[in-house]
Amino acid sequence: MPHVDLPTPRRWFQFTLGRLLATVTIVALIAAWIGWQVTLVGQRRALSKQIWECGGSVYSAADLAQSGRLPGIRPWLGDEPIGTIYLPPPRFSDEDFARVRAAFPEAHLFPSKPL
């Protein structure tokens, strides 16, 4: 009887080292971006709470019937667009206004300060 070579079973999960490193790098970049977004949401929540505690007001765009969107996955993380922020002048310095403006670029600040 002649000898017949049977095909070897195919391995479905074969990775080269380069492909493995590329995959790990992409996953790490995505995880870092998501972590950065989570940090931004936490900072916005903490700053909003601090504004309320110091006598200011923070109103979401939905409360004011305004349209507003946040980039990326931040709405999925519980963040919401802010429409208006009121900062009482004697309690908030120019640095505070700059910090709030950087954290809430979509919001209108009252009383407004020059850029």
pTM: 0.73
Q: What is the mean pLDDT of the chain?
A: 85
Q: What is the mean pLDDT of residues 58-87?
A: 82
Q: What CA–CA distance (Å, rounded) separates 12 from 10? A: 6
Q: State the SS3 of 82-93.
A: EEEEECCCCCCC
Cα maximum dimension of the chain: 100
Q: What CA–CA distance (Å, rounded) separates 96 from 92? A: 6
Condensed to tens digits (0 to 9), the pLDDT of residues 15-40 reads 789 999 999 999 999 999 999 999 99
| φ, ψ for residue 11, nearest 5 deg | -90, 125
Q: Is 59 helix (H, G, I), strand (E, B) or coil?
A: strand
Check whether 64 has a pLDDT greater than 70.
Answer: no
